[in-house]
Amino acid sequence: MSDQVLELFSYKFSVYARIVRIILEEKGIDFKTHEVDPFAENVPENYHNIHPFKRVPAIHHRAFTLYETSAITQYLDEAFGGSSLQPDITSERARMRQIIAIIDNYGYQPLVRKVFSESVFGPTFGEETNGHVLSEGLQESAPVLSALEKLASDQGYIAASVYSLADAHVIPMIDYFTMAPEGAEMLSDYLTLARWWKRVKERPSTVSTRPVL
């Protein structure tokens, strides 16, 4: 591994790897990507030296190796120049962290693993949709979207008046969720979130990191 150029260990369909790629794009950081499919049987044996649980993302930079998405994004924001992606106001910074925790703890499974996987990802690769799991995912998504709707800033971005780590964290999951027709229809019922999504979905870092299925 090189200590000069930041190295990203990523999987093209991973929302968490995409979060890191979004931050890299937003900060204008040069990086080299190593594709690692954490679901494959042939994950390189030595990858456990990078990530002991053989997941993605992970980074290596200047003899420093780091895994876990939130730790990586905070490191990238603070270790590199450019505009900060963490609000200066204490309450907004706390809200940013709260929204990240909500989407991680309660949003990923229903929005991505159930709705997107059953409506879009599985069928794209020849798998049949499990209607029960899809319906369950939609039901479980409702309280997550409701919570985000109540917390979302009315100043243009999800946690504050400026784009933050929270936007980058939520974007990949809402992007996948709204690729499902059922998800897109559901999001339209949450007016603040829908306005936010309209604003950020064509942002350059959103578009350039969007996976091709």
pLDDT tens-digit profile of 117-176?
999 999 999 999 999 999 999 999 999 999 999 999 888 899 999 999 999 999 999 999
Mean pLDDT score, 195-207: 98
- The predicted-structure confidence for 51-105, as pLDDT tens digits, reads as follows 999 999 999 999 999 999 999 999 999 999 999 999 999 999 999 999 999 999 9
| CATH code 1.20.1050.10 region(s) in the chain | 90-207
Domain 6-79 CATH class label: alpha beta
Residue/partner pairs of 73-77 with CB below 8 Å, 24 or more apart: 73/19, 73/20, 73/23, 73/165, 73/168, 73/169, 74/165, 76/20, 76/23, 76/24, 76/27, 76/29, 77/23, 77/27, 77/165
- Side chain identity, residue 48: H
| CATH code 3.40.30.10 region(s) in the chain | 6-79
CATH number of 90-207: 1.20.1050.10
- The predicted-structure confidence for 18-43, as pLDDT tens digits, reads as follows 999 999 999 999 999 999 999 988 88
The pTM assigned to this predicted structure is 0.96
Eight-state DSSP code of residue 28: T
Q: Residue 89 burial by CB count (10 A; 0-12/13-18/19+): exposed, middle or buried?
A: exposed
